[in-house]
Amino acid sequence: MSEEQIRSLERHFNERIARDEKIEPKDWMPEKYRQTHIRQISQHAHSEIVGMLPEGNWITRAPSLRRKVALLAKVQDEAGHGLYLYSACETLGISRDELYEQLHSGKAKYSSIFNYPALTWADMGAIGWLVDGAAIINQVPLCNTSYGPYARAMIRVCKEESFHQRQGFEIMLKLCNGTPEQKEMAQDALNRWWWPSLMMLGPTDDKSVHTEQSMKWKLKRKTNDELRQQFIDQTVPQADVLGLIVPDPDLKWNEERQSYDFGEIDWDEFWQVVRGHGPMNKERMKARVSAWERGTWVREAAMAYAEKKQARKEKQAV
Amino acid sequence: MKNENLYNYILGIADNSLILGQRLGELCGHGPNLETDIACTNISLDLFGQVRSYFQYAGKIAGDGRSEDDISMLRKEHEYKNVLLVEQPNTNFAYIIVRQFLFDAYHLAFLRELQKSPDLTLSAIANKCVKEVSYHERFSSDWVRRLGDGTDESREKMQEAINDLWMYTDELFHQMEADKAMVAEGIGVDVTTLKEGYYAYVKEVLEEATIEVPESKYFQKGGKHGVHTEHLGYILAELQYMQRTYPNMEW
């Protein structure tokens, strides 16, 4: 293809996005668009399945049958999200096995928040309330993103995430209306999850390398700093309802901005965790890699069985 | 308790689902692929849903204010009445599938009979459970065939699992006092009548899966009497952790 032809295709492509048309798997797309989407969608899918680990860790210890059932259903939803996000990613011409390979080798990233440990039952509340809360803020704009399969997957993901967030808040509410010991557990969880949740919305705008291009492709509609402010403004009143103290001495309502001012985020900690040195990075990866390796013989057997079955069918047909 | 036999009878049914659900719950996020991960979590979820129905009923029968959580999480080890089969560990995916299949084949046959019980609560629970458990049985028997008739390695692993777990099958058909009393009242299922059909069906599936049916005549028992394997204590340590550490609280 001549350069002129490519330029014309690109022009046509950009016009379609500007008109809010969806790009579908068989449509022409710039290679960079494809790669960026593979990176972001797979990162999202990996986050879902790594995210199953800290919560899965509490299934056997849930304090009541009702909570156990709800937690199982939630973790199952996350596996389901992983499944349709991987499928959306596969439409861009990469296989699920290749995506796993990228996760296991450390080439692909997942949300850093899951590199923090889930230490008490209250963490199941805090994760739902804060982590899913921050995830929704990140994800709702993606329901209108330009890549069709991703946008459609996100509509379903967002519906379930908002249910999870309410469920998490409800766990916190129950603890806060319970005994002093329960309330203390809730406060401790908020203390540990607050700052990592703010970090979840990504580095500050001046440090974010992908923002500009992503805005153009509607992979992003608001900057990281805008999303973070939105999260804080939405969450602080909820903490007030719970009667919990947000662990930020600089947090203050700014009448003029009609928003909360907040304290300095420890970006050194953020980069440390992103680079693989958070409290749980090694354990999380070990759990994923070991599940995959222990499952090799199962996957091979399933393939062999399917082939045998097919061969028998063909023989019968003859 | 006025209706102690019925209470014990319900616990005998529900404890199997409780302990197997707990075992499957350990697997979440650690399966060989996403699809099996989702399926195992889903089965666990179904089983805990069933447990809630049974224990809510048991609480009503006991009439002493105990909740489903009190009954499921605040008994001593010897008061759990599950069969030894369901407490066996998740050694590898072959053990997980074989344990599931050996239980599902029994569970499905049992529920089909329980549907006919004149006790309306039990038959209503059975009606709901039978749909779920027929899916469990389809999942586990499909995987038995797949892994048995897959590769040499998978057949070997399945054979090892069936050889190890076979000795826990006979107990499924033992009757305790409460079982006999409920059968006599026409409410309970006479599990002894299920035994022949069970073994015939299990053997059929194993043969299709090219797995040899173990010939051992030595079986283990005790779970239904409250005498368990060493595994149960650890299962309960996790199951009861919150209720024991933070007693008398609402969650």
In chain A, the largest separation of any two C-alpha atoms, in whole Å, equals 81
Q: What is the mean pLDDT of residues A64-91?
A: 96
Which segments of chain A does DSSP mark as H helices, in order? 3-18, 31-56, 65-90, 96-105, 122-126, 132-139, 148-176, 180-199, 211-216, 224-242, 267-272, 281-294, 296-317
Report the amino acid identity of residue B60: K
For residues A193 and B217, the model is more confident at: A193
Q: Does A79 contact B153 at a Cβ distance shorter than 8 Å?
A: no
Q: A150-185: per-residue pLDDT in tens?
A: 999 999 999 999 999 999 999 999 999 999 999 999
The verdict on residue B236 lying in a domain is yes
User: What pLDDT is recorded for position B175?
Assistant: 98
Q: Does B64 touch chain A (CB under 8 A)?
A: no
Give which of B208, B19, B180, B35 is closest to B103, Cα–Cα: B19
Mean pLDDT of chain A: 95
Q: What is the mean pLDDT of residues A107-136?
A: 97
Pick B33's closest partner by Cβ from A53, A295, A305.
A295
User: What pLDDT is recorded for position B62?
Assistant: 96
Q: Does A308 touch chain B (CB under 8 A)?
A: yes
User: What pLDDT is recorded for position A216?
Assistant: 86
Number of domains comprising chain B: 1
User: Mean pLDDT of successive 10-residue segments in chain B (251 residues)?
Assistant: 94 98 95 94 98 98 96 98 98 98 98 98 98 98 98 98 98 98 98 98 98 94 97 98 97 97
Q: A249-284: per-residue pLDDT in tens?
A: 999 999 999 999 999 999 999 999 999 999 999 999
Tokens of A31: 């290679």
B65: how many CB neighbours lie within 10 A of its CB?
Answer: 7
Distance CA B238, CA B251 (A): 16
The verdict on residue B251 lying in a domain is no
Q: What is the mean pLDDT of residues A135-158?
A: 94
Q: Does B153 contact A61 at a Cβ distance shorter than 8 Å?
A: no
Q: What is the ipTM of this complex?
A: 0.97
DSSP chain B: -TTHHHHHHHHHHHHHHHHHHHHHHTTTT-SSSHHHHHHHHHHHHHHHHHHHHHHHHHHHHH-SS--HHHHHHSS-GGG----GGGGS---SHHHHHHHHHHHHHHHHHHHHHHTT-S-HHHHHHHHHHHHHHHHHHHHHHHHHHHHHTS-HHHHHHHHHHHHHHGGGSGGGG---HHHHHHHHTT-S--GGGGHHHHHHHHHHHHHHTT-PPP--------GGGT---THHHHHHHHHTHHHHHSTT---
User: What pLDDT is recorded for position A209?
Assistant: 79
Distance CA A73, CA A61 (A): 15
Contact assessment for residue B46 and residue B55, using Cβ atoms and an 8 Å cutoff: no
Give which of A42, A75, A47, A224 is closest to A149, Cα–Cα: A42
Residue A210: pLDDT band with limits 50, 70, 90:
confident
Give which of B123, B39, B245 is closest to A302, Cα–Cα: B39
Tokens of B139: 């999942």
Q: Does A62 contact B242 at a Cβ distance shorter than 8 Å?
A: yes
Residue A220: pLDDT band with limits 50, 70, 90:
confident
The verdict on residue B250 lying in a domain is no
Looking at residue B115, which CATH number applies to its domain?
1.20.1260.10
User: What pLDDT is recorded for position A251?
Assistant: 98
DSSP A40-62: HHHHHHHHHHHHHHHHHTTTTT-
Cβ burial of B99 (10 Å; 0-12, 13-18, 19+) is: buried
Q: Which long-range contacts (CB under 8 A, 24 or more apart) does A25-32 make?
A: A25/A91, A25/A92, A25/A148, A25/A149, A32/A213
Pick B49's closest partner by Cβ from A69, A79, A305.
A69
Residue A1: pLDDT band with limits 50, 70, 90:
confident
Contact assessment for residue A71 and residue B242, using Cβ atoms and an 8 Å cutoff: no
Work out whether the CA dihedral A188, A189, A195, A196 comes out positive or negative: positive
Residue A215: pLDDT band with limits 50, 70, 90:
confident
The verdict on residue B18 lying in a domain is yes
Tokens of A59: 């299934």
User: What pLDDT is recorded for position A184?
Assistant: 98
Q: What is the mean pLDDT of residues A60-78?
A: 97
Task: Please tell me which residue of chain B has the smallest CA distance to A82.
Answer: B34
**With contacts defined as CB-CB under 8 Å, which chain B residues touch A182?**
246, 249
User: What pLDDT is recorded for position A221?
Assistant: 85
Q: Helix, strand or coil for residue A253?
A: strand
Q: A290-313: per-residue pLDDT in tens?
A: 999 999 999 999 999 999 999 999
Q: What is the mean pLDDT of residues A95-117?
A: 96
In total, the C-beta contacts within 8 angstroms joining chain A to chain B are 141
Task: Please tell me which residue of chain A has the smallest CA distance to B209.
Answer: A305
DSSP A143-177: GG-SBHHHHHHHHHHHHHHHHHHHHHHHHHHHHHT
Residue A211: pLDDT over 90: no
**B196: closest CA of chain A, how far (Å):** 30
Report the amino acid identity of residue A284: R
Q: Does A291 contact B151 at a Cβ distance shorter than 8 Å?
A: no
User: What pLDDT is recorded for position B179?
Assistant: 98
Give which of B190, B56, B191 is closest to B122, Cα–Cα: B56
The verdict on residue B131 lying in a domain is yes
Q: Does B35 touch chain A (CB under 8 A)?
A: yes
User: What pLDDT is recorded for position A155?
Assistant: 94
**A293: closest CA of chain B, how far (Å):** 8
Q: Which domain holds residue B210?
A: 4-245
